[in-house]
C-alpha cells in the first residue's frame, strides 16, 4: 500500500488493469450483489431531495421499490444503500438493449439533477472503507468483471485511470496527481 493524504491505496489499484466491457457484461454490477449500492448520508439526502426529478428516469418496478422502501435503505450491516427490486437489481437501474444503466447518471447527463450517482458506483471496481483516521482504497476483483479485466489487459488501462474522474470527485485533483505520479514512478518490483 502507499499513502496519499489520508488514504492508504492498495498497489493493485495502480498495477492491475480494468476497463468495463458493457457489451460483454451487460452492466450486471447493477443487478447482482447482496445489497444495493453503498451511499453516504449526504448522498442519501441528495437522493431524497431529487426523487421527483428522478422519477421520469426510473422504471415502473424501480418506482414501486422506492415507494415501498424509500429512496435509500439500511442493509443488514446498518449501511446506507440503494433499494433493490425483488432483491436483485438496484431500483435506479434501467435497461437499454439488454444492458443495465443508472437512471441517476442519465438524469444528471440530461440536466435533470446535479448528482451523478453514488460515488461508490462511480468508483467501481475500487471500494473504499473509511476508518477514523484513514481510508483504505482497494481493488475489488468480483468474478462478474472478468471481461473487464481482460479488456483492461488488452487496452493497458490501470484501475486508477479507469476511475480517474471518480477518484478526483472523491479526493480532488491534487490527490489524484500524487497518485498518478506514484503509479508512474514507483518501482513495483520492490513489493513483489
What's residue 91's pLDDT?
94
What is the pTM assigned to this prediction?
0.84
What's residue 46's pLDDT?
93
C-alpha to C-alpha distance for 162 and 159, rounded to whole angstroms: 5
What's residue 12's pLDDT?
92
| Mean pLDDT in order along the chain per 10 residues (192 residues) | 90 91 84 84 93 95 95 91 92 92 94 90 89 91 85 92 94 95 75 53
| SS3 assignment, position 73 | strand
C-alpha to C-alpha distance for 143 and 126, rounded to whole angstroms: 14
Buried residues in 14-26 as b, exposed as e (16+ CB within 10 A) = bebbbbbbeeebb
C-alpha to C-alpha distance for 145 and 173, rounded to whole angstroms: 27
**β 7-9/135-139 pair status:** parallel
The label of the residue with cell 434501467 reads 94
Classify residue 89 by burial, with Cβ atoms within 10 Å: 0-12, 13-18, 19+: buried
C-alpha to C-alpha distance for 113 and 104, rounded to whole angstroms: 8
The label of the residue with cell 468474478 reads 143
Amino acid at each position: 500500500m502507499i499513502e496519499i493524504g489520508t488514504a492508504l491505496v492498495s498497489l493493485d489499484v495502480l498495477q492491475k488493469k480494468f476497463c468495463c466491457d458493457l457489451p460483454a457484461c451487460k452492466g450486471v454490477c447493477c443487478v447482482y450483489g447482496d445489497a444495493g449500492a453503498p451511499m453516504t448520508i449526504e448522498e442519501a439526502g441528495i437522493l431524497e431531495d431529487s426523487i421527483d426529478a428522478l422519477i421520469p428516469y426510473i422504471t415502473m418496478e424501480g418506482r414501486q421499490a422506492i415507494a415501498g422502501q424509500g429512496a435509500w435503505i439500511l442493509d443488514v450491516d446498518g449501511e446506507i444503500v440503494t433499494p433493490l427490486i425483488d432483491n436483485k437489481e438496484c431500483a435506479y437501474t434501467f435497461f437499454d438493449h439488454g444492458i443495465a444503466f443508472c437512471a441517476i447518471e442519465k438524469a444528471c447527463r440530461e440536466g435533470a439533477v446535479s448528482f451523478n450517482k453514488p460515488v461508490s458506483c462511480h468508483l467501481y471496481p475500487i471500494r473504499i472503507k473509511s476508518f477514523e483516521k484513514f481510508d483504505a482504497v482497494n481493488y475489488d476483483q468480483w468474478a462478474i468483471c472478468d471481461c473487464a479485466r481482460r479488456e483492461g489487459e488488452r487496452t493497458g488501462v490501470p484501475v486508477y485511470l479507469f476511475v480517474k474522474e471518480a477518484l478526483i470527485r472523491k479526493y480532488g485533483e491534487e490527490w489524484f496527481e500524487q497518485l498518478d505520479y506514484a503509479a508512474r514512478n514507483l518501482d513495483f518490483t520492490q513489493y513483489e
